[in-house]
Structures are given as structure tokens and as C-alpha cells.
């Protein structure tokens, strides 16, 4: 089989940040890297799950809701994929920073955490998600749109 493009990225040099992973017409996949691959401990599942619920809910309720295609975790547990259409890198970066800040400060109920709404509704940790979001928010202060390509 042909090697897919994401496996051609040298993961030994990736740092936490926001990267453009691929462009398909007006659809752009962003790599939101929260951990340095193969160096730092990976994200814990309950934190990942909570970040996924909060991030997806927030962006789908934002002014850009019509541009959001997907938000979900990477299998390697070092970050997330964020897929949008019709948004500039600058708009995405603002939305990511805004959403991460929202998660870092969130104190309410985690949306979608009943048995009827979620396939693994017990596997959540708001304290861990907030801690991971706070760390990522600090790292994003150093990221600039011009540095978003791999």
C-alpha cells in the first residue's frame, strides 16, 4: 500500500502547536499538537474525551459553526485533528486559542455525557482536560500563522 502523507511527517521534530496537515480545495485539516511525539507522555483518554466534547461543542456553537467539519483525537494521543472549510489560518488560530481558553476555564457540566448521548460517557475528566488545555494555551502564545505548515 502507498504510505499516507501524515506518516511522511518527521514526528521526531514536531513540537506542540498548530499545523496545517492537508489541504483539499477549501477544506483544511489542522493538526493541533498538544504533546511532543515520542518524547512527552501522551494525553490520557479521559482528558482527550473531555476535550473532544468541549471543543466540538464550543466550535459548533461559534460564529464559524457552518465551517466546522470535524474535531477528534489522534490515535497516538498527542493531539487532535480539526477540519474546517472556508476559513483562513488566522481565523482558525483565533478560534483554536479562544476554544482552548474556554476549556481551560470551564466549570460546568461536560456536554453529551449521558448513556444516551455518548458511547463511553463515564470516561471523562474535567480537571485533566482543564490542565491539558491550560498548558496548550500557554504554548499557543508563541505560535504564529506563518509557522503553521509542517
Kindly report the CATH number assigned to the domain that includes residue 107: 3.30.1360.80
Query: Can you give the pLDDT at residue 149?
Result: 64
Does residue 96 form part of some domain? yes
- What is the per-residue pLDDT for 141? 74
Domain count across the chain: 1
Q: Considering only CA atoms, give the Rg of the chain.
A: 15
- As a whole number of angstroms, the distance between CA 58 and CA 53 comes to 9
> Residue 55 falls within a domain, yes or no?
yes
CB 67 within 8 A of CB 93: no
> d(Cα 91, Cα 59) in Å, to the nearest integer?
12
Instruction: Give domain status of residue 46, yes or no.
Output: yes
Alpha-carbon dihedral angle through residues 51, 101, 59, 80, given to the nearest 10 degrees: -40
Tell me if 145 is assigned to some domain. Answer: no
The pLDDT assigned to 13 comes to: 86
Residue 108 lies in a domain: yes
Q: What is the DSSP string of the chain?
A: -PPPGGGGS-TTS--SEEEEEEEETTEEEEEEE-S-TTTSPPPPHHHHHHHHHHHHHHHTTSTTGGGEEEEEE-TTSSEEEEEEES--HHHHHHHHHHHHHHHHH--SPPTT-STTT-TTTT---HHHHHHHHHHHHHHHTT--GGG-B-
The reply to whether 35 falls in a domain is yes
**Does residue 3 fall inside a structural domain?**
no
Full residue range of the structural domain in which residue 83 is found: 11-136
Whether 16 maps to a domain, the answer reads yes
pLDDT of the residue at 146: 52
- pLDDT, residue 96, reads 97
Which residues of the chain, if any, have pLDDT below 50? 145
pTM of the full structure: 0.93
Amino acid at each position: 500500500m502507498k504510505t499516507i502523507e501524515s506518516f511522511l511527517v518527521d514526528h521526531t521534530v514536531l513540537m506542540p502547536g498548530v499545523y496545517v496537515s492537508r489541504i483539499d480545495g477549501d477544506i483544511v485539516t489542522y493538526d493541533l499538537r498538544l504533546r511532543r511525539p515520542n518524547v512527552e507522555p501522551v494525553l490520557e483518554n479521559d482528558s482527550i474525551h473531555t476535550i473532544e466534547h468541549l471543543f466540538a461543542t464550543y466550535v459548533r456553537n461559534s460564529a464559524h459553526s457552518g465551517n466546522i467539519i470535524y474535531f477528534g483525537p489522534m490515535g497516538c494521543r498527542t493531539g487532535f485533528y480539526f477540519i474546517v472549510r472556508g476559513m483562513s489560518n488566522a481565523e482558525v488560530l483565533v478560534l483554536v486559542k479562544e476554544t482552548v481558553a474556554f476549556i481551560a476555564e470551564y466549570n460546568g457540566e461536560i456536554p453529551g455525557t449521558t448513556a444516551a448521548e455518548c458511547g463511553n460517557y463515564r470516561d471523562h475528566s474535567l480537571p485533566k482536560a482543564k490542565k491539558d488545555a491550560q498548558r496548550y494555551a500557554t504554548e499557543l502564545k508563541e505560535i504564529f500563522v506563518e509557522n503553521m505548515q509542517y
